[in-house]
Each structure stands twice: as structure tokens, then as C-alpha cells.
Structure 1
Amino acid sequence: MQGWQERRTSFGSVAADYAALRPGYPADAVGFLLGDRPLRVLDLGAGTGLLTDVLLAAGHEVVAVDLSEPMLEQLRTRLPQVEAVGGGAESIPLPGADVDAVVAGQAAHWFDPAPAAAELRRVLRPGGVVGFVWNTRDERVPWVRALGELLAGEARDHEADQGVVDRFAAALPATVEVFDSGTVQHVTPEQVVRGIGTRSYVATMDDADRDRFLGAVRELVATHPDTRGRDELELPYTTRAHRLTPR
């Protein structure tokens, strides 16, 4: 099994495709996490800024933190108005009581809960909240289920993990509320393949294994009855947002 640290830091090599091909987040999920009053928000594990986009559209002031400098460069290019700083959840490069909220999109499973929870409490202002959100492919759709079955051996269910939320809720400690939403990407078949290429378990493969694996994804999309011969596909996701309110 590939090491957690190797996968955690693998995204720099695929930063441009990550920015272009990963799904965004629905506005109602951000509204649930943060309400409708403008806040100063830390986007932790911000990557290329897909969640930052939605935070800005909702009127929030955002500071973005990520371990990967190539990912942050994508964010800075797209969103030059955002303060973007290198750093991780276990040592957040902000002063104490600096933000009203900390949010993480598709990232909290890469955080070490005990030291990260201490840092979250340090940087949050009194009454602040923590928000974790994940998009997960909606496998109620047959071709998406077939894709998930193909990926399952490598993916190892590493993304949306209720256990991650539970560990943070215990470490903070915090109460947890949950909100479900969804989003749909309109993508070409080749964009589906390239999007899978941005996953950590693919980014850390050697070239031969990656070509073989993505070739199998390409073959599935080309031959599945629901996708064969189509120039554009709808790739649906379910979105689950977790609001943690420290006690």
C-alpha cells in the first residue's frame, strides 16, 4: 500500500488537471456550513481553490493554506485576490484567534486529527465553526457505479470518511450537524479519464501502471452502454457537508 504521506503530498504533479477537472462545490453546502453573514474563513488544504471559489461568491474573506506549492500557484493564478500561504493542518501558519471559520473541501482525510484539532482551536475565534465537505461520485447511476467498481481496488475508500469526522468531533471536542446536496459535472469522456488521473492513488503510480490503469478507465467509458459514442457526459456527485461546532 502506498504510504499516507506520499499520497498526501502527491497532488503537485497533477495540479493543472486538478484545477480544470475536479468538481466544484454546491453553494447550499457552503451556506449550511457558514450561514449568510460575511466571515473571515480559512480554507485548509485549499488546493487549487475549488472551494475557495464558492466561499468568495458567498461574500467571505478567504485565506488559503495548502502543503503543495504547485497547487497554490494554480489558486494564485485564478484568484489573485486571495491570501495563499504554504502550510499544513498540523501547523497552521496563522496567528491565534484569526478566523471565524475553518473549512476543508476533499481534504480532511489527509489531516492528523489530534494535532490538527489543537491548531483549529488555536486559530478559531470564539464561536467559530469547522466545516468539512466531500464530493463523492453518485454510484446510483449505472455507468458511474461501473467506474467505481473499476477504481475500488486502488481507491481504498480514502475520501469521504465518517470516521474522520468522528475523530475530529472527539478531539476538538465538537457537536456535528450534517447537510446533503449534490453537483453534476459536464465532461467529455477524455476529461473523465484525466480527472481520475488527479486522484492520489493514480498520481503516485509509476508511468506504466498509470497508463495501464487509465487505459482501463478509457475503455470502460468507450464501451459502457450509457456512455458509448457520446461526446459529453453528466458525471453526478453527492455532496455531504459536516459542520462541527466546538464545545
Structure 2
Amino acid sequence: MDGWQQRRTSFGSVAADYAALRPGYPADVVPLLVGTAPRRVLDLGAGTGLLTEGLLAAGHEVVAVDLSEQMLDQLRARLPGVTAAVGGAEAVPLPDGDVDAVVAGQAAHWFDVVPAAAELRRVLRPDGVVGLVWNTRDERVPWVHALGELLADEARDHEADQTVVARFAAELPAEVEVLDSAVTQLATPDQVVAGIGTRSYVATMDPDRRGGFLGRVQDLLATHPDTRGRAQLELPYTTRAYRLAPR
């Protein structure tokens, strides 16, 4: 298994922590992603249901698909009314023309764009849309910038979200709308460390290396002047949502 594929399928091993420790999405991105009228939506790469939850709250019907049964087990426990199935973007387990929208939260950089774009067009109804969204740590905050520098060498091989969107927009092809928002996660220092442990580049480390790496994150939070001695931290994220309307 190559490194990309190993990382892509690594989340099942950290599913419970992922459900507990990853941030959700601001409510204002949902209308941009799928519109305001109730829709049947495929949440692709749904994971533990962080985006699914926001879609349900806005009144949409959601079908959740993910590569990991363990991640979907977490989603089913939190959102028992949602239909969930194992599958990937390159082979979606839904019939033709089944959904009004396909969304992906924190996931589209793991999709193989050419076959995935063909599958999105297949499962979408006429006038259907594709919504892609990512949370990114806001490194304008000094301690978050220091954290980002510590993580940078390990996280460097992710393709930027703008690049992924541009490739999907060209392949579908589609017009693109963008919305910027933000969300802040309240977490203890230990929860911040454990949340870093759910990142694919950490989940795939051997235990000794993983322990050492997370130890350095813990040391940073214990010594940085903005986080030292604090029982709770505000971890800010910028959120960028993209709506792709296939032509």
C-alpha cells in the first residue's frame, strides 16, 4: 500500500477520537453548499458525521458514505436515523440520479479527481450541485502559528483545497462559488494534542514515533506564553466552502 493510500484509509484506527475531537462546521456554510430548500444530499467521505449533522439541522435528508466502517459506526451512534454505507468517491454505492447534491467535508483532497468527478455526475440529478468545505487552523493567532510550524514537515504533502477545487471544476466542468466563514473549538491542551493524533500523518506513524511527535506538541502547549498554564484553549479555524454547479 502506498503512503497516500495508507493515509487515506487510516482514519478507522482513530475513529472515536475523530468524532470527539475534530471541529464541526459553521452553520452558514450549509446554504452555500446545497441551497436552502430541503434536498437529498450525499455526504461523501462523511467520516463520523460532522458535516452530516449540520445538513440534518438545516432540514436536508442525508446519505452518508465513507471508506471506513469504524468511522460510520461513530456516525450511526450519533445520528441513528441516517442511511450510511461503505464506499468511496471513485465507486459511489448509489444509483444514477439519486441525489440533489454531493458534499464533502475535509475529504475531497483524498479523492481521485477524474473517476470521482464522473461518479459525481452520475449520481447527481439534473441541476444538482457539489459542495466542498475545509476547516483550516487560523495561523494568524501566534500559538496556532507555532503549532502549524511544528506540524508542517509532517503535513506538507496535502494538496491545497483550492487546487482540488480547481481540478474538480475543470473535470466536471462546473462554475464555482466561494464562502469564507470561521469556527472556534474550545478544547483542553490534552484534547488539542489528541486531536492532532487523529491527523492521517500521525495516525500512520509507528507507536514510538507517534508518541514522540505528540510529546513535542504537548511541550509546545505547556511552554508557549499564550497557552502555558491554561486549562482551556480556543483553537480557531478559518472555513472555506465551495459550491460547484456542473455546466
| TM-score bracket relative to the smaller structure | over 0.9
When residues 68 and 164 of structure 1 are mapped into structure 2, their CA distance, relative to the original with a 3 A threshold, is same
Alignment RMSD: 0.8
Partners of 1:103 and 1:174 in 2: how far apart?
14
Deviation at 1:35, TM superposition (A): 1.8
Question: Where has structure 1 moved over 2 Å in runs of 4 or more?
Answer: none
CA deviation map 1:2-27 (0-9, x unaligned): 71100000000000000000000011
Q: Does 1:126 align with 2:126?
A: yes
3-state SS of the aligned residue for 2:178?
strand
In structure 1, what is the equivalent of residue 224 of structure 2?
Answer: 224
Deviation at 1:209, TM superposition (A): 0.4
Partners of 1:160 and 1:236 in 2: how far apart?
19
In structure 2, what is the equivalent of residue 48 of structure 1?
Answer: 48
The one-letter code sitting in structure 2 at the alignment partner of 1:117 is A
Alignment gaps of 5+ in structure 2: none
CA deviation map 1:165-213 (0-9, x unaligned): 1110111010111100000000000000000000000000000000000
In structure 2, what is the equivalent of residue 243 of structure 1?
Answer: 243
Identity of aligned residues (%): 78
Deviation at 1:32, TM superposition (A): 1.3
Deviation at 1:31, TM superposition (A): 1.5
**TM-score, length basis structure 1:** 0.98
Q: Give the number of equivalent residue pairs.
A: 246
Partners of 2:30 and 2:53 in 1: how far apart?
11
Partners of 1:181 and 1:158 in 2: how far apart?
21
Partners of 1:121 and 1:183 in 2: how far apart?
31
Deviation at 1:162, TM superposition (A): 1.0
Partners of 1:131 and 1:22 in 2: how far apart?
20
Deviation at 1:154, TM superposition (A): 0.1
The one-letter code sitting in structure 1 at the alignment partner of 2:28 is D
Partners of 2:240 and 2:78 in 1: how far apart?
26
Alignment gaps of 5+ in structure 1: none
The one-letter code sitting in structure 2 at the alignment partner of 1:3 is G
3-state SS of the aligned residue for 1:230?
coil
